[in-house]
Each structure stands twice: as C-alpha cells, then as structure tokens.
Structure 1
Amino acid sequence: MSVEDWLQAFGDPVGAEALEVPGAKALASFVGTYGAHIAGVSELYRKSEWELIVLDFRTGRPQDSAYSIRRVERVGVLFRHTESMPLIFMLRDDFPDTEHQQLAIEGMPRAICIDDRNWLEARLTWTPAELIQRILSWFKRAAEGRLHDARQPLDPVFFGSPLSFIVSRAVLDGSDGHRLVGVHDDTHRSTIRVRRTRDGAAPGHALEPFFMTAYRVAPEHMRRLQFAPDNLASLAAMLEERGIKLLENLAEEFSGLFGQGNGWAITPASPSSLICRLSARRGSSRREPIFGRLCTIDPSARLLSLSASLWSSGMQMKVVKLVT
C-alpha cells in the first residue's frame, strides 16, 4: 500500500476545530503558534478514534547526509482517543530503512522511534514542544549516522496489547518434546504464563485452549525486521528467509495433534499461537535473544485442512505483547 492510499483511508481533510484528541489539538495549536520555523501543518485528518496531523517538517539535514533524508519531509503524527502513545510516520514511499524505526505492520508507512522510554513513563512529561524536539533530534542524528550509540543496548520492542505473555527462557530452551500451553495468572487475568505439558496430561481449569509451538532463528540468519507480518503467509515468508520452513513444520505438527486421544488435543476451532524467538545481532557480535513474537490465529478462520494452500491463504493474526 502506498502512502497516498494509506492517507486516503482517513477520508477528506478536516479543519482544526474538528479535532477532539487533546494531544492532536495541542500539537496543531503549538506548531501554528510557535513552531512555524521548524514545521508547518499541511493537513488534518480524523477517522473514528484516530486523528492524524500531517506536518511539512524542516529536518536540518546537512549537505552530506548518512541517509537520503530530504531537507523537508512530510511527517504524520497519529493520535488515538485513548491516551496511547502518538506514532510518528514518514509519509514517503521511498523513505530509507534506518535504525530506530518502529516495527510497523506491512502496508503502513515507516514509523520512527523517537523515545526509548515506555509510554507509561514518557506520558508524564509529554508536551508538543518535546515531541517536535525529539523528531528534530531524530533527523539530526540520522543524518549524522549516529542514531544508535555503540554503548547503547539493542532496541527493546514495545507492543501495545491488553495481553501479556510471560515465557521463561527455560521453557523455550527445553520445549522439544513438550506441548506449550497458556495459564492465566491468578491475580491478573490479562497475563498468561506459557508452560510445558507432556503428552496425555489433562489440562487444568486455568489452561487456555491454546496450542503453542516455539521456533528459534539462529543468529547468523537474523536480520532486522522492517515490517511486522500481519498474516500467516507473510510470517512464513519472513521466517523462510531466516532458515525456518514454517508451513511444512506446522503441517507436520498438526498432523500429529488432530484426532489424538489425550485430554487436551486441539480441535479445528481451537485458537493457536506461534512463538518465534529472534536472535539479536549487530555487526559481528551476537547476543542472546531479548524479545520474541507471539501471533494468535483467529479461531473463527477454522482449520479445516492441513494443506499448505490454506496456510498461505492469508489467515489474519493479532500481534500481542511478549514479556520475557
């Protein structure tokens, strides 16, 4: 999807008086009153609970830039009615792939990461002036080729989701020969702990009806993810590039699960989950994985066949937060 197609999904531009999200109203007012020397408001959009501020942003790019950043970039700042983190999108189809970009869903514009703090912390001191300063600082560091300091830890990945999956390293390291199941936390129902269970073990009342399987990408095959896959076909293509034949493996896994006589075998209506352990790599150095991905297949799709053609037909998945 092109940037223009993405913008058209918001409908026609609106006036400043139509904005309702406090952060969007504050940003539009600040830029119009105090920020004209840095940015100008180009368009305003509103769709359902989302509001988008489109800025023509003066990047301050030097003549010799490490990336192909233009002197004026079109930037979209997306707000939601809930008090969630605003997202900063680069509204150019050929915007370069740089460090410190958010893991946007396929089909969306590239989104830059301007703050390494969790939003629960950052929102306490958030102002429109700080937002503009952080965007300008990102452009400056990108142009100078120093977005990521040599002493800085590898980027954490923050996913917004009502669910948190807690997976211990021991579970992932020793998952061979065991099924993985989800268990609700006794005090926090939105927290699910992933545990191992042996074949034939009867599930307790707290077990989620999840079939889970874990994969690990070797460090030598790992590359930075540019976009997050939003269906099983694109996830399989992403893992194929990193040495994992997902569709073939899933067909084998499900062949052994359907029709089993144990007390917790999955049915065609059971939701299923995939945990992909991704190794972090920078330059010639390797580090232990610091995050993962968990994708939950929509049970309404119903697994009526084990053929690869069904798996590659684009079943929708929901990306949720994984806490390690």
Structure 2
Amino acid sequence: MTFLDFGAPIAGAPDNVLRTDLSRRVYQALQKRKDFEFVAIRSLAAEKSPSDVLIVDALSDGVPSKNDLGIKYRERLALVFPHDKWQRPDVRILRKGFPVTPHQNENLDGGPRSICLTEESWELARCRWTATNYLNDILYWLERAARRELHSEDQPLEELFFLAPAELILPASWGTNAARNRLAIAHSRQTGDGRFVYFAETVEKHPAAPPADLLVIQTALVPNPMLELPPRDLGDLSEWLGERGVDLRVSIDAFLRSKFEGHTFSHAPHQRAFVLLVEIPIARDSSERAEEVRRKAFFIGQDFISVGLIMGFIDNFENTLVLNSMRKGNKLLADEWKSIRVAPIEVHHRLTAETAQSHSGHYDRLRRGVIVGLGSLGSSISMNLIRGGFADWTFIDHDHIKPHNLVRHQAFGSQVGVPKSEIMAAMANDVIEGSAAPIVQRVTESNLAEGLVEFEGKELIIDATAGVEFSLAYSRSETGSRACSVFLSPNADYSVLLGESLARDVRLSELEAQFYRALIQNKDLADFSQLPGGRIRTGGSCRDHSMVMSGADVNLHAALLSSQILRFSSNPEARIRIWKNDRETGATQCLKVQPSDARQSTTGSFTMRWDSKLEETLQSLRESDLPNETGGILIGLLDLVAQEIRIVEALPAPPDSAKSPGTFQRGLDGVGEELIRISKLTGGRVIYLGEWHSHPPNCSTSMSTRDEILLSQIADFQAAEGFPALMLIVGDSGVQVYLQEALDD
C-alpha cells in the first residue's frame, strides 16, 4: 500500500513536541490500545491553523473482510489537532486509493480528504470530548463506511462544494421553460461577512437591468456526492463536468450558435455577465433514480464573445464577429481558454408556496382565500399564513396606517398613511411572489349584493375586523365560500374562532349567538370583556380610540389562531373555539363549544333564528318543573335593517316566580342585575327580546287568550324603544315563536 505524505517530520519526545492538550491525551490513549498502532508525529505549519499531527494505523475488526468498497482492516490516518482550541480535531485519510464514500470532505489546503465523525458543533462536542471516544468514533466510522451504513435514509445528501463566496437568487418562476435562459441581474448586496448576493429576474420583468448570458448544463447522475473544492477556472470546470458526462466545449459551442442565430455582433456586449448554471441530479446510490437536483453556478471571467474568440469558435472578420465554420477551435490558443477564471456561486430560488409548505410541515395547501380586516390581528395572521405557503390571497381593508398602529401592526414607520391592505399585500409578495392582491375598500352588504367584491370560488373567507359588521353581512350572502371570524377579547386574554360549516348550513351570525350563550353561561369567561387598561383617544372623532393592548399579546394569539384556521379549513364541520391565556404562567386553555343546528321561523317581515341547543334547554327547563308551567325571559340579538332576531338564550324562571299546572307568572328577583351583567359581558350586543313559558302535557304550543294579552303587554313595553316583542312557547311538540311588531308613531 502507498500513502500520501502529510505534514512535516518533527523530532523530539512527544511531551516536548506536542503542543495541544488533546494531541497529548490521544497519544497517551494510543499507548494502551491494541486497535491502533502509532506511526509518527508530524506538524502542520499552516499560517491560519498550525496543528499537531499523529500518524496512526487503525486496525478495525468490524470492517468486513470482503466489503465491496475495498476498505481495509488496516487503514493509515492522520489525526490533526489544531493549536487553536476552538477548531475541531480532524481525521485525514492517507492511503492512496481509499474509496470515495459519504461523509468525506475535500480540504481547502488541498491535502488528503477528511472524514466527518459527527454533525454536532465543536462548541458542544468539546464539552464531553475524550480521547477514548474520539478513537472509538474513528473505528465506528470505518466499520459503517465499509458496510455502506454511513448515510441514514432520513439524512440529507452531502453538498457538492464548499461554501461559495457569492449567492445567486433565481426567480421563483424560473424553471424548465424557454424563458429560463433570459435573466437579468436586477441588483446585488453585500452581506455582513463579505459575501455577495445577486438577485436575478426575468428580462421581461426588469428590461432596464443588465442581462446575464446564462448557459444551463445538466450532468449525469452523481451518486453519493462528496464535499470538494469548487473549480477555479474553465479547465478545472471542464474536467469536473467531463467526469460527469458533459463536454464543456460542445456545450459552449452549442450556446454560441444559439446566440448568433438571427443576431450579428461587432463587439462583445457591454456589462453582461456570462453565467454557467449546472444542474446536478444526485442520489444515494448509482442504481437509484435522482433524489433531487442540485444547482451550482459559476461566473465566467470573460463575456461569452471573448470566451468564444479564445476557444476559436468565433472569428473577427472585417470588424464583424462570425462563427468559425470549421468548429474545431483555435489550435494556437488550445489551452488558453482553460485558464479563464470562474467564480463559484451558491444557487437558490426565491421562496415558493410549495417550499414554504414543506418547510412549515403543511401539506394540504389552502388556496384562493380572502382576509377582511388587516389591522393588528389580521396583519399578523396574514403573514403567518403566507409564510406557511398558503398563497393566492386577497387582502381587503379600507383603512390606512396611523402612527399609533405601529405598536401592534406588522407595518413600519415609513408606511404611515399607506392603506393597510396594500402594505400587507406588498409584504406578502416580497416573501412569496404573487401571493396576495390588495383591495382598498370597506365591505358592506350593498357591495356584497352588487358583486363589487368577489368572494365566489374562494376556499375560505377570514373576518379579522374589529367589529361584527362584515360577519353579519356575509352571513346573509349566498356565496358558496365558507367563512370564519377571529377576534380577541378587549383585555387580550382571550382569542376566539367562529367557523362556518363547509355547506354553510351554520353561518357566522348563528355562531355569534351561540358564542354569546357560552360567554353568558360559563363563569370561567366572566372577565372576557374587562378593560383593565381602558381606552386611549387617537383622534378628534368620537370613534377615534384604541384599546390598551401590547403587540406581544396580539402576536401570541395570532400564532395560535393561524394554526387553528388551518386545522379548521381542513374539517367540514362548524367550529367554536375560545382560548384563554394565563398571563402568569403562559399556559393556554381551550374551551370547545359544540355548534348546534340552526332553526328559524318567519312572521311578517321578520325572521326569528335560534338553534337546537336552545330547544334542548327549553325542554329541560320545562320537564324539571312539570306538572307546573315555567318560563323566563328571552335574550338575543336584534337587527332591524335585516329584520332578523337571533335568540341567544332562554333564562330560567326567577326565584320569586309563581308556578302552577295551568299558569305561570314570572318574578322580578335578579332579572335587572342579570340583564346588566349580560349587556356588559357582550358589549351591549345581547338585549332583552321578550318572554318564554311552557305549556302542560297534551297541550299545543298555540297561544291562549291570556298569552295573546301577555304578548300585547310585552309589545307595549318594547315599543318604548321601537323594538318588536317575542313570545316563545315550549310544549310536547317543540317550540313555537310569536312576534308582534312595534307600531311607529
């Protein structure tokens, strides 16, 4: 066997010549091992990384004697210990002909290849590094390499080259179409560590930018890629490509012919970069199909005309550049082209929705959505969804950014005065090109009816506005797109998601009523509407005020709601969820409210709506008092414009009520206080609607004469505010709702 010569010989006792603690510890450990033989001590005098070197033979019983790779029982290695303690010890392979395997790296010093023992950072690994484990890891690496077990199935394949000093960002739309050779370098920037990043766009998108001449080459399949030094000139690149099935001269010749077809050149194009982009299919084994295609690029040190002249593929005939018809190249300059420098470039694509989804762990892409309301909550949710790869959104908001919005909004100070929807669409498109379109408009029932805002064909409509106006208007629309509403409590301790069923047989307006019932019934939600910080006036109008709420609170709930919106969107059922955050511990509790089926009846021009859960409550209250009649008050939501009444809850009979098998007289004890509590808890939305009472068994739910008198009395009471009056009767056959409208003076 023959070995590579590595390091400079050094004379003297080990304790005197070894400079590092690690090398001395390994030398001592070698004296006690039978599976390593010490050969020599050497040194590396590299300016940036002087090192101690121990030359050893590793004797590995675990290496199969007839392994197909040809790894030997005895392998000579150089153990390298940099004098800088913050640099990782290295292991170099010294036997000539050692096979190429995964987890080997070429080195910047051009010396023998290294083996990679661990992915762990040296800062962490050095905390528990021992000489014994270090030597054991070397033997284990040799055994696994011989058995082809170094690279686990779930581990990414190795990179091809060491990190290049520049990066090229291709457009997201760049692919296999005919336009992929038509690129321009739109702009560039230098990073903090001195690297350059070049941003390429299509010529059509940036016609004023200097175009780049792009030659795209695809190699043969590369199995088990190994990290190595990138080519430094066209000669190195030609050799590297030749080993992978590509003749660079033939590729450049074909490229030049395509450039000259239909064009005449009198001189080299000014300020045009010549870029060679190599597509490299890679796999874990030569018998496999490509697992992925890696792209590497090289800036050529000359423009394509100059390269063609030097290679002899172009002639200068009477100040006109023409293709050399002989196609054999210039024999006098046969090797000069090989010395043309090339600069390696890392290649990346702009983020796409598909890439964002794979990195986020999302696989069911939500497409064609609308977000209405791009305030604090809406702006955070919109960016969470965009960054998760859920693209193709329409952002709708009529308002613009004001200075105080910057406390909680995703916008920046330079965007004050810009419409919120335009800001968020621009930010979204900067993350994923073409992912959002803005509409600066208030969505009302009238422009919904006129079709001025298109919601048909969208998969999900998200209402993130600060009010209920859009949800109510959208509930009355007959578009097929389901919607959800997300909002925070005034104190930012709670967040809520109300989601329609896929069939829209349970709509936002009904879910709002059911949410309010949960709010009224559940004592754990008693502080939902508290305003510990109060409000801050932000302008001269009576409406110009803002709640005291931190951006951290908004972002916390926005993250949770973004995740829950995606889960909701993949389920056809309606949903009501309420989350409470414990400010002291950070723990979040979830209250699940099961949505109920909708019910309705119509009297005159009014539609009364309630749900099956309310019917169950009424029947339960009735049965608990049989054979007596019972009753109480009805509370709910009133919309005089839409002429809709949504019954939220039927309160039980006050304790001072009079009950008998044939009559019921509601008491007054606690009723006023309960209505005040409910009004505060629901922000004044839920109000008194009328009365309910039960009928005895075997009696219909039709009104008696006494009931008719009672409904007239309720109507007189409600007339003080111009509201209609309700009476609900529950009996054996179910419930019946009666309405008497107020008469205008």
2:78 matched to which residue of 1? 75
Residue 288 of structure 2 is aligned with which of 267, 284, 302?
284
**Given residue 235 of structure 1, which amino acid in structure 2 is its aligned partner?**
L
TM-score if structure 1 supplies the norm length? 0.69
1:269 matched to which residue of 2? none
1:32 matched to which residue of 2? 27
Measured against aligned partners, the alpha-carbon deviations of 1:120-142 in whole angstroms (never above 9, x if no partner) come to x4433334646444323211212
C-alpha distance in 1 between matches for 2:83 and 2:348? 24
What's the CA shift for 1:286?
2.6
Percent of aligned positions that are identical: 18
What's the CA shift for 1:247?
2.1
- Equivalent positions of 1:129-278 (< 5 A) are 129=131, 131-157=134-160, 159-167=162-170, 170-174=173-177, 176-179=180-183, 181=185, 183-185=187-189, 190-198=195-203, 201-203=207-209, 212-217=214-219, 221-225=221-225, 228=229, 229-251=231-253, 253=255, 256=259, 264-266=271-273, 272-278=274-280
Q: CA RMSD in A?
A: 4.3
Structure 2 gap segments, 5+ residues each:
313-328, 350-745
TM-score if structure 2 supplies the norm length? 0.34
Which deviates more from structure 2 when the two are superposed, residues 44-53 or residues 178-187?
178-187
Contact 1:179–1:196 (8 Å) recurs in 2: yes
C-alpha distance in 1 between matches for 2:213 and 2:82? 35
Measured against aligned partners, the alpha-carbon deviations of 1:220-253 in whole angstroms (never above 9, x if no partner) come to x444556554432232233234443322333454
C-alpha distance in 1 between matches for 2:337 and 2:83? 32
Measured against aligned partners, the alpha-carbon deviations of 1:246-291 in whole angstroms (never above 9, x if no partner) come to 223334546749757976435xxxxx543312112233333222x3
Structure 1 gap segments, 5+ residues each:
267-271
Number of aligned positions between the proteins: 299
2:61 matched to which residue of 1? 61
2:118 matched to which residue of 1? 115
Residue 102 of structure 1 is aligned with which of 80, 100, 105?
105
C-alpha distance in 1 between matches for 2:346 and 2:83? 19
What's the CA shift for 1:56?
0.2
C-alpha distance in 1 between matches for 2:232 and 2:189? 27
What's the CA shift for 1:317?
4.0
What's the CA shift for 1:90?
0.4
**Given residue 196 of structure 1, which amino acid in structure 2 is its aligned partner?**
E
Check 1:145–1:310 CA distance in 2 against 1; reply closer, same or farther (3 A cut).
closer
1:305 matched to which residue of 2? 310
Bigger radius of gyration among the two: 2
**Given residue 295 of structure 2, which amino acid in structure 1 is its aligned partner?**
G
What's the CA shift for 1:178?
0.7
Contact 1:181–1:212 (8 Å) recurs in 2: no
Higher relative contact order (CA 8 A, sep 6+): 1
2:42 matched to which residue of 1? 43
Paired residue secondary structure (1:250)? helix
C-alpha distance in 1 between matches for 2:3 and 2:342? 23
**Given residue 60 of structure 2, which amino acid in structure 1 is its aligned partner?**
G
